[in-house]
Amino acid sequence: LLTKHRFQQEITFKQSLAESKERAEKDHLTGIANRCFFESAFTIIQSKVIRRHTGLALLLFDLDHFKEVNDTFGHHVGDQVLKCVATRLSEFTRTEEVFARLGGDEFVLIVTGDNSNSDAIRLARRILNAIREPMQIDGKVIRISASIGIAAQQSQDQSITTLLSHADIALYQAKNSGRS
Can you tell me the distance from the alpha carbon of 142 to that of 145, in angstroms, rounded to the nearest whole number?
Answer: 10
Identify residue 42 by its one-letter amino acid code. F
What residues act catalytically? 105
List the alpha helices (DSSP H) in 26-159.
35-52, 66-73, 75-91, 116-132
Can you tell me the distance from the alpha carbon of 133 to that of 77, in angstroms, rounded to the nearest whole number?
Answer: 16
Residues in contact with 168: Cβ distance below 8 Å, sequence separation at least 6, in sequence order:
60, 149
Identify residue 34 by its one-letter amino acid code. N
- For residue 143, what is the DSSP state? -
Can you tell me the distance from the alpha carbon of 105 to that of 103, in angstroms, rounded to the nearest whole number?
Answer: 6
| Contact predicate 58/99, CB 8 Å | no
